[in-house]
A and B are shown apart, each in its own frame.
Chain A
């Protein structure tokens, strides 16, 4: 599914070059639930952004679903993000003045989905996160947990193969965090690949594979298997 070799990412900050990723090799198979961990500044977010085409690597080769990604144009990458990837961010990134429906519909506006099919897709995605009764509520009126569930519905609406989640529970209380992890686990059980960036051990324990980064390099890559599961598992 995902195969990257010798990924390097350099940032120029005030004349000095900072290496955020230093020759990282990574392969992720379909259906895996991967937690990318590490202290802040370890390069875990950068890796996620490169794997999800939000950013281009300075060097290295990247294949997604067998296709070489390094040579694709911005518009092609936008199309792949739209159809094949879903995003969940720590700060939700919802359009606050728009309704839940409009937020979830957003990716469909940028794909070729005919308008008459959109409604069914939005309703299915919102139903999957249990917010059907909030469909027409303005996003800014929702609680943090509800906002993140809307974000997950938005990530789901185009039925993507891979969902990237960047600290999805970082801004949530424990109960909401548990709900979000339970939904991600369910999506993984349905066969979707989940790539989670986190610095919290207990959220990482929903994943079956842990990749630890330090100073832009992979420190360890292990498959301890899932140690937590379901809402209750969050509080163990």
Chain B
């Protein structure tokens, strides 16, 4: 039998049982759609993260107190909440003098209640040096940054995250108003724009930025830093700058054994790499879970094909009587299963794309994320491939059962 005729015969077989065919492919549709959706979301999330990190400068280097093992997956101790006091003002000054460094800024963090009139909120304050705003590209909704001079003079000024400003002041303009943190009065000089925050949004939205000197000396009473951010100078390789920082800090801390570093230096690229790995693993994991529904769908196809083979036993007998070979019958039923799966696959791709578009609309409508719609060609291609393979795997057994029926046994079947 010519392949064209096999396809025509198979599609006629499916057309004659429309409702059943539609119900059968539903499993495949759902399976493929969920795989597509998750792959799409994974890709979009990855792009978003890359965009965000690049927006804040791909030439950024972060220094955190405490050493970490060489594996990029092991976090520095500070991340785990362990207080380490190894980064200080001397380190900041040393790095500032390094020619390959364009700018450097330090951070400390603390928790306190922020009070404006009758509003009282628990929040995190971040003390930053004046250069912070030269390194991190923040956009302001109103007002602006404070300067290194404000830091040096311990000026009681504060910059609010958009969420915090909203909760404390509502419709009112916060600029020039005074708030209280730990019984100290601060004048609000700026409000960060939510749009500019991107992925940092949720983290920074409810925070308040104050000068380092005020945070360190007046609120916390410490003389170390929680983090130092460095911007590499133009024309210098970030990896080179990183190695310079490491050797400068080792000199400062009198460290000779590299395994005993009491600080961790990470470039933006490494952070990006780590995030990329995390999202990839997560996407893969979710896709694997979604694939289970595809297997269930495949079993559905097999089940219906087995029923169909039994129901059409007499048809098989007749076809054999008029000259169909075992191979003809095998191909007919196999092509039916593959067609079911491919049609299901295509419908699944369409549904998956539709759902991904829904996610796009929801995310862009209800958040400030710069979410991009992604439907990678590789995902579409692999969906079609997976659907066909599902059809072959789960169609082969019923098709073989059909092909092996003896013509007269099949004709006698009641």
Question: A93: which of B16, B326, B328, B411 is its contact (CB, 8 Å)?
Answer: B411
The answer to whether A49 and B408 touch (CB under 8 A), given A75-B327, A109-B9, is yes
When distances are taken between beta carbons in the complex, the residues of chain A under 8 Å from B411 are: 54, 89, 93
Interface locus among A24-32, A76-84, A172-180, A208-216: A76-84
Q: Does A168 contact B (CB under 8 A)?
A: no
**A98 / chain B contacts, CB cutoff of 8 Å:** 12
CB neighbours (8 Å) of A58 from chain B are none
Judging by beta carbons under 8 Å apart, are A106 and B16 in contact? no
Instruction: Return the CB mask of A83-108 against B: 1 if under 8 Å, else 0.
Output: 10001010001010110001000110
Contact of A79 with B408 at beta-carbon distance under 8 Å, contacts A93-B318, A95-B315, A97-B16 already known: no
Cβ-based interface call for B180 (8 A): no
Q: Are A110 and B408 within 8 A (Cβ)?
A: no
Does A110 contact B323, Cβ atoms closer than 8 Å? yes
Mostly, the B contact residues are helix
Give the docked Cα–Cα distance between A87 and B323 (Å).
11
Given known pairs A75-B326, A75-B327, A98-B12, the reply for A81 and B321 (CB within 8 Å) is yes
CB < 8 Å: which of A74, A79, A93, A106 contacts B314? A93
Cβ–Cβ contact B326 & A87, under 8 A? no
Task: Report A-chain residues with C-beta under 8 Å of the C-beta of B406.
Answer: 55
Task: Answer yes or no: B185 CB below 8 A from chain A CBs.
Answer: no
Flag if A111 contacts B314 (CB, 8 Å).
no
Contact with A along B134-178 (1 / 0, CB 8 A): 000000000000000000000000000000000000000000000
Q: Give Cα A81 to B324, complex, Å.
A: 9
- Which A residues from 84 to 142 make CB contacts under 8 A with B? 87, 89, 93, 95, 97-98, 102, 106-107, 109-111
B408 touches A54 (CB 8 A): yes
The verdict on A54 contacting B321 (CB below 8 Å), with A75-B327, A93-B314, A109-B1 known, is yes
B325 at the interface (CB under 8 A from A): yes
* Closest A residue to B406 using CB positions: A55
Are the C-beta atoms of B325 and A75 separated by less than 8 Å? yes
**Cβ of B187 under 8 Å from chain A:** no
Pick from A54, A83, A97: contact of B407, CB under 8 Å: A54
Per CB-CB distance, the 7 closest pairs between chain A and chain B, nearest first, are: A82-B323, A110-B323, A107-B322, A97-B16, A54-B408, A93-B318, A78-B325
